[in-house]
Amino acid sequence: MRVLVTGGAGYIGSVVAAQLLAAGHEVTILDDLSTGHSDAVPQGAHFVKGTLRDCVAEVLADGADAVVHLAAKSLVGESMADPSKYWSGNLGTTLTLLEAMRVIGVRSIVFSSTAAVYGEPERTPVLETDPLRPTSPYGGSKTAIDTTLTEFARLFGLAPVSLRYFNVAGAHHVAGEGGGWLGERHHPETHLIPNTLAAATQGRPLNVFGTDYPTPDGTCVRDYIHVTDVADAHLRALDACEPGRHRIYNLGSQAGFSVREVIEVCRDVTGLDVAVTEAARRPGDPAVLVASSERIKAELGWTPTRDLRAMAADAWQFTQAQARAQADRAAAEGPGQSNAAAEGPGQSNAAAEGPGQSNAAAGGPGQSNAAAEGPGQSNAAAEGPGQSNAAAEGPGQSNAAAEGPGKTNAASEAGPSPKAPGPATS
Ligand SMILES: NC(=O)c1ccc[n+]([C@@H]2O[C@H](COP(=O)([O-])OP(=O)(O)OC[C@H]3O[C@@H](n4cnc5c(N)ncnc54)[C@H](O)[C@@H]3O)[C@@H](O)[C@H]2O)c1
């Protein structure tokens, strides 16, 4: 099958794409790299860098039998601060995709929905038939997409499957040449396991939000599933796509683990201590969120095969592989000057990092981001009619400048060098 994977340079999408390739499918990835990483695109996939809105019709017209649609903005907090970004970025772009599918005649679609559509459920485990009460624009946008898929199935014979993921965790290993670990690299990271591993390696405390919940140890209980199991569910869902019928499945393990239990497993797997800071509850965090996955088990024969320890162990392998790759890059860069420049019609990102002087410059009609970091002098400059962001950081002198008629942000941060801090202009 020729499968278009939107968001295939992201965490879950890259693993889905790798599994599709391993199963012998042809894969095209469409991703704008807004939160994804080009080095996560699995070998063998055809990669198109672009936004759904601008490129999806053309990419579909090139030939596709099915779509796995993961591309989305997915930060709950950000969605509360900037709801339009989520309604437009998630619902709006999905409408563009669905219209293109309708016109071109592609029917099968597997959609990444979420537990956030249920909001704060009245009971657990949560069933697919339970009320949808999203408490954020993120959850709202995913709920609206689920509703749209139901309508497109009824009105146009679309063949959609929605998978409502609970907490996805772990990393996936691709064997063979060009393989390696695919894992979670969100910025900012909001998920517990990668944050716990980062706290462990950096020797800083981890915030635990709420220790007075009505749970056995007072911390929130969540349902975790391994990303490899999630990818497996997508392959089964693709086979189950049926014109005119919208199938909806929860993806969870039917078991919950508390925040303290997860931290304990991470301590065990890494052999490192994790200091904990007890913080207040976050608004809207339910005490327990566990999925019933009876429906997908009965209808598609899917069951999770990897436990919490495997998730933490694989995420730890990925973290270590990333650290090794970063060390190799730094060694290859050498102590000289590092320069990066980006300019183009879309978003332009430039990042320079190295032990010597680091210079980054970005400019273009879209958003321009420049970041420079290193122990030597760090200079970052962003300029353009769109939003311009520049950030320079390091113990040496740091200079950041952002300029243009759009929103401008410049930040320079320096450590204990006699030359610090550098000026920040905008
Ligand atoms: N990670 C979880 O635990 C979890 C839980 C529930 C649901 N989900 C959903 O799963 C999907 C994947 O999540 P993830 O954790 O892999 O996120 P991610 O940010 O790593 O991946 C999303 C990818 O989509 C791309 N993208 C975003 N908007 C785009 C656009 N308009 N055009 C083209 N590409 C675009 C990004 O660059 C990124 O590569 C999302 O839809 C998310 O809402 C994730």
Which domain range does residue 340 map to?
335-397
What does the pLDDT read at residue 177? 85
Whether 381 and 300 share a structural domain: no
DSSP single-letter state for residue 97: H
Please report the pLDDT score of residue 64 as a whole number: 98
The residues assigned a catalytic role are 138
- CB 139 near ligand 1, within 6 Å: no
* pLDDT tens digits for range 34-60: 999 999 999 999 999 999 999 999 999
Of all protein residues, the one whose alpha carbon is nearest to atom 7 of ligand 1 is 114
Counting every residue, how long is the chain? 426
Total domains in the chain come to 2
Q: What is the pLDDT of residues 170-213, one digit of tens each?
A: 999 999 888 999 999 999 999 999 999 999 999 999 999 999 99
Measured from the CB, is residue 33 less than 6 Å from ligand 1?
yes
Of 175, 151, 284, 308, nearest in space to 229 by CA: 308
Judgement on whether residues 246 and 354 belong to the same structural domain of the protein: no
Examine residue 422 and state whether it is found in any structural domain, yes or no.
Answer: no
Co-location of 309 and 223 in the same domain: yes
Last residue of a domain, one of 287, 322, 357: 322
Tokens for 197? 């591993």
| Ligand 1 pocket: which of 69, 109, 112 to mutate (most atoms within 8 A of CB) | 112
What CA–CA distance (Å, rounded) separates 221 from 256? Answer: 6
114 contacts 70 by C-beta, under 8 angstroms: no
Within a domain: 183 = yes
- Model pLDDT, residue 348: 41
Q: How far is the CA of 64 from the centre of ligand 1 (A)?
A: 21
290 lines ligand 1 (CB under 6 A): no
The verdict on 210 and 299 lying in the same domain is yes
Residues 177 and 73 placed together within one structural domain of the fold: yes
Measured in angstroms, how far is the CA atom of residue 273 from the centroid of ligand 1? 31
Cα gap 251→56, rounded to integer Å: 27
Same domain (yes/no): 392, 340: yes
- How crowded is residue 30: how many other Cβ atoms within 10 Å of its Cβ? 29
Rg (CA), the chain: 22
Which residue ranges in the chain fall short of pLDDT 70?
Answer: 334-426
The answer as to whether 272 is a domain residue is yes
Q: Are residues 191 and 339 in the same domain?
A: no
**Which of 4, 38, 70 for mutating ligand 1's site (highest number of atoms within 8 Å of CB)?**
70
Same domain, 8 and 49: yes
For residue 422, how far is its CA from the centre of ligand 1 (angstroms)?
36
Q: Are residues 206 and 305 in the same domain?
A: yes
Q: Is the same domain home to 206 and 91?
A: yes
Using one digit for the tens of pLDDT, what is the confidence trace for 365-384? Answer: 444 455 656 555 555 565 54
* Whether residue 13 has its Cβ less than 6 Å from ligand 1: yes
SS (H, E, C) 398-411: EEEEEECCCCEEEE
Determine the distance separating the centroid of ligand 1 and the alpha carbon of 31, expressed in angstroms.
Answer: 10
**Ligand 1, atom 1: nearest CA belongs to which residue?**
168
Residue 96 covered by a domain: yes
Q: Which residue carries 């300019």 as its tokens?
A: 343
Look up the CATH number of the domain holding residue 313. Answer: 3.40.50.720
Q: Is residue 418 one of the residues assigned to a domain?
A: no
At 364 the pLDDT is 44
Does 160 lie in the same domain as 62? yes
- What would the DSSP string read from start to end of 160-173? EEEEEE-EEE--EE
165 and 247 co-located in one domain: yes
